[in-house]
């Protein structure tokens, strides 16, 4: 029955609200059933207001979608992968964001499979490149392709930590140069 009241120039917004464009392009708003109520004298103002609100919402959604489409799909900022300290900083930044994909991209495949924990806080306090003699305690790699850093950082796990409690840690990180990935990568790390 309702369909006989609708034409190509009208559409239903909600069950009790119909907007109809009359042949002379004046707009009428009718409330209630699709019966013979009189047109509302303020219909044009109400429809203009509704149209403005709808247009603002539509433009807002379009702006959000455009913004999302223009952003990089990789959440970490550009990193100079030829700089081992930059790779180490990017790793900690990814850990602080709980961004597993970015975090593991800075690690060798062996270490990328290790269990990781989400963190409420990861804050690097210092990063120090160890000299060649001290580095030999952690790695036998050549100085051209291996770097060992001592990192002091604060950590707070999300919830109850699995392997680490809230606290300050000093760990060593060994990075190796991987020519196939054209990047320095974390090959090992641990307390010490």
Q: Which of 32, 34, 46 is nearest to 10 (CA)?
A: 34
End-to-end Cα distance, the chain: 81
What is the distance between the alpha carbons of residues 24 and 9, in angstroms, rounded to a whole number? 11
Q: In what order do the strands lie in the sheet with 119-129?
A: 119-129, 146-157, 167-178, 183-191
The predicted structure's pLDDT at residue 127: 96
Burial of 53 (0-12, 13-18, 19+ CB in 10 A): exposed
pLDDT of residue 123 exceeding 80, the answer is yes
Task: Considering only residues 124 and 57, tell me which one the structure prediction assigns the higher pLDDT.
Answer: 124
Task: Considering only residues 100 and 36, tell me which one the structure prediction assigns the higher pLDDT.
Answer: 100
pLDDT of residue 132 exceeding 90, the answer is no
Q: What is the pLDDT of residues 34-93, one digit of tens each?
A: 455 555 556 567 666 666 666 666 555 455 554 444 443 344 568 999 999 999 999 999
Burial of 146 (0-12, 13-18, 19+ CB in 10 A): buried
Give the DSSP per-residue string, 149-168.
EEEEEEEEESSS-SS--SEE
Q: What is the pLDDT of residues 147-185, one digit of tens each?
A: 999 999 999 988 766 678 889 999 999 999 999 999 999
The predicted structure's pLDDT at residue 161: 60
Say what the pTM is: 0.57
Map out the domains of the chain with their CATH numbers: 2-70 (no CATH), 84-191 (3.10.450.50)
pLDDT of residue 187 exceeding 80, the answer is yes
Q: Residues 123-130: what's their mean pLDDT?
A: 94
């Amino acid at each position: 029955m309702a369909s006989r009241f609708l034409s190509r120039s009208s559409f239903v917004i909600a069950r009790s609200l119909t907007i109809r464009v009359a042949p002379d392009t004046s707009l009428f708003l009718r409330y209630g059933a699709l019966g013979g109520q009189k047109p509302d004298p303020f219909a044009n103002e109400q429809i203009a207001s509704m149209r403005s609100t709808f247009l603002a919402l539509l433009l807002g959604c379009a702006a959000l979608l455009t913004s999302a489409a223009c952003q990089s799909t990789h959440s970490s900022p550009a990193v100079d992968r030829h700089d081992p300290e930059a790779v180490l900083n990017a790793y900690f930044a990814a850990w602080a964001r709980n961004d597993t994909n970015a975090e593991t991209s800075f690690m060798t495949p062996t270490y990328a499979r290790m269990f990781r924990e989400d963190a409420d806080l990861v804050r690097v306090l210092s990063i120090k490149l160890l000299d060649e003699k001290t580095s030999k305690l952690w790695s036998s790699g050549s100085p051209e392709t291996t770097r060992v850093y001592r990192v002091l950082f604060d950590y707070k796990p999300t919830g109850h930590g699995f392997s680490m409690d809230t606290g300050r840690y000093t760990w060593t990180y060994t990075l190796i140069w991987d020519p196939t990935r054209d990047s320095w990568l974390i090959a090992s790390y641990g307390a010490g």
